[in-house]
Amino acid sequence: MLARLCVRGLFLLCLGSTLIGCNNSGLDSVQVSPASLSLTVGQTAQLKAMGTFGNAKHLSTQDITGGVTWSSSVPAVATVSSSGMVTAVGAGTTTITASTTAYNGPVNSTADLTVTGSAGGTNGGSGGSILSLTIIPSGIVFGSKGDSGQFLAIGTFSTAPTVRDLTNSVTWFTSEPNKFPVTTNNSGAPGGGTQNGGVVSAYEASVGNVGAVITAKATDTNGSIATATANVGCPLVLPDPTAHPPVPGSCFQNVPQLLTTLTVYNEGLNTTNWLVTAPSATCDPAVPATCTPVLTCGPAAGAGKSVCTATYPLGSTVTLTAPAQTGVRFGGWSSNCYNVAPVTQTGPNTCTVNLLTTDATVGAIFN
């Protein structure tokens, strides 16, 4: 009898140990290597993502490079494939991110990449009539959040006119779209939105004069490409009324956030064939063309889409849909998703996310 009680006690102890986290089969974190690198335009490099599994006493690592989602903050500077292969496109800096879902939710790791081209922040064209591109000025430093400034893109060509203003014909990128957004020319009718390209605004303070890297990309009619970069920032300086003379400060004002980021990931056990979609914020069911998904997340949407993000204007209401997939059982949404249709195990399931004041992360459960 005593032996039976001891065995039962050992069984319960082991069961309790499993419940409190002795299982070392889950992913805890991910680390990208190398953490920083420099390339010249046209060069490639292979990044690795190493996953750490288990707990503090029984850690193990594994190469999960092909199982994470890779992204580049400035694709005009460098692109990255689903296998972690980086290709340098234009001069500037970008952040390469590897994202995945760990035992306790989304995790990511980054690598800083510097791409060098021609001196002065410009990169020559790839063989066509455009020779180089330059951004004027080379940097803008704001004194108040909410301020805006204008960048100009000037191209040098091998044919006359050799110097041309390309501000409204290049594509503009920013490394921090929610903090320092930049416009690309809108050729629509006046009154329909921003008409000029290269207009950058400050909605976040920065540490020092550089808070984001602005990139302009020009594509010639024959396919030749040239890029250029510039810096923008809004250095935070708190006011000091006790100084003589008083220091007014800069970039400390509260400015309403204009854009929000919606992140979707799977927190269930099925990782092979699930899917979540979401349309744009201007979706009109009466006009199907406006409801083309801007967010498609999951292996059913393609390789390397286990964690997905999309940017929406502040105040948007976004509908997420988990359509029926063969062999997939949908288990529900995380708490910040309000179900607007009955949740069934096999039918299409939807929910709404109200992006009223801040970013949102939504987990979908697939079993």
Q: Would you give per-residue pLDDT tens digits along the chain (367 residues)? A: 444 444 344 334 433 333 333 333 478 888 888 888 777 777 777 888 888 877 555 566 778 888 899 999 888 888 888 888 888 888 788 899 999 988 788 889 998 888 876 433 445 555 557 888 889 888 999 999 888 889 989 888 877 777 888 888 899 999 888 889 898 886 555 444 445 888 898 988 999 899 999 999 998 877 778 899 999 999 998 888 888 888 788 898 876 666 777 888 887 777 778 888 888 777 777 887 777 777 888 887 665 566 777 778 778 888 888 888 777 888 888 877 766 666 554 556 888 888 877 778 888 888 7
Work out the burial of residue 51: count CB atoms within 10 Å of its CB; fewer than 13 is exposed, 13-18 middle, 19 or more buried: buried
Name the nearest CA neighbour of 207 among 174, 231, 178, 183.
231
Sole residue written with tokens 């006119």: 161
Q: Report pTM.
A: 0.46
Cα–Cα separations (whole angstroms), residue 68 to 27, 63, 84, 102: 12, 10, 9, 11
Q: State the distance between the two ends of the chain, measured CA to CA, in whole angstroms.
A: 42
Q: Pinpoint the alpha helices (H) of 20-164.
A: none
317-335: buried (b, 16+ CB within 10 Å) or exposed (e) per residue? ebbbebeebeebbbbbbbe
